[in-house]
Structure 1
Amino acid sequence: MPLNTQASSPLLEFIHFGLKEARACLFAGLFFASVLLVPRTGLAGVPRYDVLLLIALVIQVGMVWTKLESIDELKAITIFHLVGFALEAFKTSQGIKSWSYPDFAYTKVLGVPLFSGFMYAAVGSYIIQAWRLLDLRILHHPPHWMAALMAGLIYANFFTHHYIGDYRWYLAACALGLYARSTVVFRPLHRDRRMPLLLAFVLIGLFIWLAENLSTFYGLWKYPNQLGAWSTVHVSKWSAWSLLVIMTFTIVANLKHIKARIHVPR
């Protein structure tokens, strides 16, 4: 039997897919492992939020230094830090209407510990790494300006729903129509595999929702209904995270589109 045929067996393809997914989740995995390991009281007199920020910075620098992440990828991830911090600062300012960070930290700005930006960066890092490691290609991607407009509306809704109502499900319906034909093609080893892009958004959103439940259980942040005792994060947050994944994916896709146009052969 030819080597390529053997190498492309479903089991081997699945193993390579799992390994590459784990590699793409390296930053997120290490960061959330630190959430579990760092005591709520902090370490050596340093508050927990500050310790988490230091750990996140070490992980980030380590990934660039070992060339697991390029400088261009780091620049893209910085965008997620800024986008995430702006959202966190606004949400925590809403008091009982949103979540809060109850513990003290020296690195809090506008009530938001600076490590929180790395939680959004972790999602961006995963998408960027998975795109490269799995050789992602998107079939029937909508026009990039339409995708950018949708991402902007999704982001804006996180702010405006406090004043003019939550249009999440209208936006979800629009995203459903926009990406209905879109398919993500990825290559675990030798053979291309396909998945509806919308399904990928929903699955990533699910894993983030599960991670959020774990984070709130350990008191990293709290929703109003968790101030007395911990309870499961409402399942509606799954939809919010899935929309945020669409926004994150769009930023990555549009940056790659712009870079490709800039470096087009002349």
Structure 2
Amino acid sequence: MRALKQLIRFGYQQAIACLFPVVIFASLAITQIIPLPSLPRYDWLLIICLLMQWWMVRSGLETRDELKVITLFHLIGLALELFKVHMGSWSYPEEGYFKLSGVPLYSGFMYASVASYLCQAWRRLKVELVNWPPFLVVVPLSAAIYLNFFTHHFWIDIRFWLSALVLIVFWQSWVTYEVGGTRYRMPIALSFVLIGFFIWIAENIATFFGAWEYPNQTDAWSLVHLGKVSSWLLLVIVSFLIVATLKQVKGKSPTRIEDTRHFYR
């Protein structure tokens, strides 16, 4: 019974942390089923995301510092979207007034929602890092992963080499979190894989409701290729490393190098 109660507590905290992504998915579904008047669908999605972001800060669910992090992710994601759409990796076929080079501005909020989840979960579960690698290792690794999303169109794709490097760098690193007064731990590399896999599931839901469209989905929707998990895995790693670095710079999440045998596995 205690394990069940802890699982429920953990699920509740995760659900609250996922509030922004849930609103985005719900909006995608509703606007797909029920056309809204006066404005194209993409523009309504932008309005909904802006209102949701305003409410999150106004209600205290997100802090102003977290808003800064989310805004950074919005810009990072929008830059990636502009490049990928230009290269034909995917498209946004519907009309919209607030589109930049074929990319609707609401798309940046899909990346921002990942940052929102990370920030919320970090604070609610009192996340701490154990054996976190040095700043001079984490920052170049994050930059290399992000740049590979661009450079692999013109040069070799080194995502698998980068994935192997992540395993080496974070082999002895753990993330610890608190549920109901009890602390648990998980290898950081495993947390990357789990978050990346669930985002891939979310991507299938998003493309089903027309958030964007891959070339193989032009005629009819089909499952997103499983290989995309690796892309989301790397994007999650970049997201996590940025959030972790900013948290440490702010002094809110000190790294600890200590005996962790007292944590539950």
Smaller-chain TM-score range? Answer: over 0.9
Q: Which amino acid aligns with 1:47?
A: P
Q: What is the one-letter code of the residue matched to 1:222? A: E
Equivalent in the alignment of 2:11: 18
* d(CA) in 2 for partners of 1:138, 1:248: 15
Match of 1:32 in 2: 25
The residue that corresponds to 1:48 in the other structure is 41
In structure 2, the residue matched to 1:62 is: 55
Q: Residues of 2 paired with 1:190 and 1:35: CA distance? A: 37
Q: Report the equivalent of 1:212.
A: 203
1:32 positional shift: 1.1
Please tell me whether the aligned partners of residues 28 and 210 of structure 2 are also in contact (alpha carbons under 8 angstroms). Answer: no
Give 3-state SS (helix, strand or coil) of 2:61's partner.
Answer: coil
With normalisation by structure 2, the TM-score equals 0.92
Does the Cα contact within 8 Å between 2:69 and 2:243 map onto a contact in 1?
yes
- Counterpart for residue 66 of structure 2: 73
Q: 1:12 to 1:41 in 2, by over 3 A?
A: closer
Task: Letter of the 2:36 partner, please give it.
Answer: L
Greater CA drift, 109-118 or 30-39:
30-39
Any stretches of 5+ residues in structure 1 without a counterpart? 1-5, 262-266
8 A contact 1:42–1:51 mirrored in 2 = no
Q: CA deviation at 1:110?
A: 1.5
How far apart are 1:13 and its partner, in Å? 1.5
Amino acid at match of 1:197: I
Letter in 2 for 1:54: I
Unpaired runs of at least 5, structure 2: 253-265
Deviations for 1:142-196, whole angstroms, at most 9, x for unmatched residues?
1122111111000000000000021110000000111111111000111101111
Cα deviation per residue 1:119-158 (whole Å; 9 max; x = unaligned)? 0001001001000000001111111221111110000000
Q: How does 1:113-262 map to 2 (within 5 A)?
A: 113-260=104-251
**How far apart, CA to CA, are the structure 2 residues paired with 1:162 and 1:183?**
33
The answer to whether the 8 Å contact 2:32/2:210 transfers is: no
Instruction: Tell me the distance in 2 between the aligned counterparts of 1:89 and 1:74.
Output: 22
Aligned partners of 1:40 and 1:48 also within 8 Å = no
TM-aligned CA deviation for residue 41 of structure 1:
7.4
Compute the RMSD of aligned alpha carbons: 1.4
Deviations 1:204-233 (A, max 9, x none): 111111111111112221111111221111
* TM-score normalised according to structure 1 size: 0.92
Size of the alignment, in residue pairs?
252
Task: Show the counterpart of 1:109.
Answer: 100
Partners of 1:226 and 1:11 in 2: how far apart? Answer: 40
1:184 counterpart SS class: strand
Segments ≥4 residues shifted beyond 6 Å: none
Task: Return the letter of the residue paired with 2:84.
Answer: K
State the secondary structure of the residue aligned to 1:101.
Answer: coil
